[in-house]
Structure 1
Amino acid sequence: MQHLGEGRRAWAATIAAGPDATAKSAPQGDTAAPQEREALLAWPHEPAAVDYHVTEGRSWRNWLSDDGARAARLPAPATAEGSDAADASARGTASELVLAFYGRIPLDSLKLDGNRLLFDQLVDWDPER
């Protein structure tokens, strides 16, 4: 199985070799991605559920626990009440959510509800540590 980043690193190494490169260049350093599910997904904080609502229509829930992280599309708009309520939620257009995920706009640009500390923890979380 090849990690998606391996192809990008090989491409970047070839570009870095310049116009005189005669063949595809090999990337330098360790390019192996962690193979253990826990190394990729372990959540180091209290278990939580975070909902993401796209104003254009769909919603997703991200469950976080020491067993890992998993996400699924919600079949219907979630409510903020009941035992199935998320600990936090973010609402915005699809574009706003993606830009916030990549740190291109502040999270405060979204409508945030619930435990805002979860969003800070998500921003700081590096699953490969």
Structure 2
Amino acid sequence: MEETLEFPALLRLIDERSTAFRAAIAAAPDLDAQVPTCPEWTLFDLAQHLGEGRRAWAATVAEGPGASARSAPEGPAAPREREALLDWLAASAQHLLDALREAGPDRGCWTWWGASQSPQTCAAVARHQLQEVAVHTYDAQLAAGVPQPLPAEVALDGAEDFLLTCVATTSPWPHKPATVDFHAAEGRSWRLSLSAEGARTTRVTDATPSDASARGTAADLVMVLYGRAALHSLELDGDPHVFALLAAWEPED
């Protein structure tokens, strides 16, 4: 399995997860069903969110590095009729994939994660978009009664992307410096270092002990990181207070 997914693989997997999302929408008994992992949304709301988000990111990628904020979604609103909705979702995913292919991986792009460890490039956008689609596919499958774990290659890349994009920050850690390790059962580990310089993530390459650690499958880690599962669903070790402080932390940048 690749250590880091290349751009063509990211696009392939966005397409695959988008197809799986539509399959869940097609299989659901009722589009007004509540989504357990997004309780404020129905399945229709989730589909609307996913489609509009992909259209907005397609427009942002197409606008190029000069964009100062994420662009508004382009095209028609999400239709209520199921078959039309499925066609609209397919078109939304295709708009994103076409924009990313046209731009290429190295082109600059506006992103909201400027202070993180992820670059502001179309490759980084594709990487995070894969996780957006993958996690919401799980949400839709759960609501439709057919939940499936994230594919291992998606989950391994997703755990790393979350730690680099959503957790890494230059905002000072307001507590005693600490390290937290995240171990995927598939054989990959990451260390989150928390200090006055912020939060930075690295791959774990030695056996130096951390202050706290969490272990599970890569899919389990992603579900916990995205708030779809409780922390105690993982195998925890070390100081539990560090996890409590991390969960309560609200960085300024």
Q: Corresponding residue for 2:236?
A: 112
Q: Corresponding residue for 1:75?
A: 205
Q: How does 1:16-31 map to 2 (within 5 A)?
A: none
TM-score after normalising by structure 2: 0.36
Structure 1 position 52 matched with structure 2 position 182: yes
Does structure 2 conserve the Cα–Cα contact (< 8 Å) formed by 1:55 and 1:91?
Answer: yes
Which one is further off, 62-71 or 86-95?
62-71
Q: Corresponding residue for 2:51?
A: none
Q: Corresponding residue for 1:11?
A: 72
What per-residue deviation string (whole Å, max 9, x for no partner) do you get for residues 50-76 of structure 1?
111000101111110011111110124
Structure 1 position 101 matched with structure 2 position 162: no
What per-residue deviation string (whole Å, max 9, x for no partner) do you get for residues 31-65 of structure 1?
x969778x743211110011110001011111100
Q: Corresponding residue for 2:171?
A: 41
- Residue 52 to residue 125, structure 1, CA distance change in 2 (3 Å): same
Give the root-mean-square deviation of aligned CA atoms: 3.1
Q: Corresponding residue for 1:26?
A: none
Q: Corresponding residue for 1:92?
A: 216
Please state how far the C-alpha of 1:120 moved relative to its aligned partner.
1.3
Structure 1 position 65 matched with structure 2 position 195: yes
Please state how far the C-alpha of 1:85 moved relative to its aligned partner.
1.3
Report the secondary structure of 1:50's partner residue: strand
Does structure 1 conserve the Cα–Cα contact (< 8 Å) formed by 2:214 and 2:237?
Answer: yes
- Residue 116 to residue 40, structure 1, CA distance change in 2 (3 Å): same
- What residue ranges of structure 1 are gaps of 5+ in the alignment? 20-31, 79-83
Partners of 2:183 and 2:199 lie apart in 1 by 18
User: What amino acid does structure 2 have at the position aligned with 1:86?
Assistant: S
Identical pairs, percent: 43
Q: Corresponding residue for 1:25?
A: none
Q: Corresponding residue for 2:247?
A: 123
Partners of 2:67 and 2:170 lie apart in 1 by 13
Residue-pair matches, total: 105
Does structure 2 conserve the Cα–Cα contact (< 8 Å) formed by 1:63 and 1:69?
Answer: yes
Report the secondary structure of 2:244's partner residue: helix
Report the secondary structure of 1:123's partner residue: helix
TM-score after normalising by structure 1: 0.66
- Residue 35 to residue 104, structure 1, CA distance change in 2 (3 Å): closer
- What residue ranges of structure 2 are gaps of 5+ in the alignment? 1-64, 79-110, 117-168
- Residue 104 to residue 33, structure 1, CA distance change in 2 (3 Å): closer
Counting helix residues as a fraction of each chain, which structure ranks higher? 2
Counting strand residues as a fraction of each chain, which structure ranks higher? 1
Partners of 1:52 and 1:98 lie apart in 2 by 11
Partners of 1:73 and 1:95 lie apart in 2 by 17
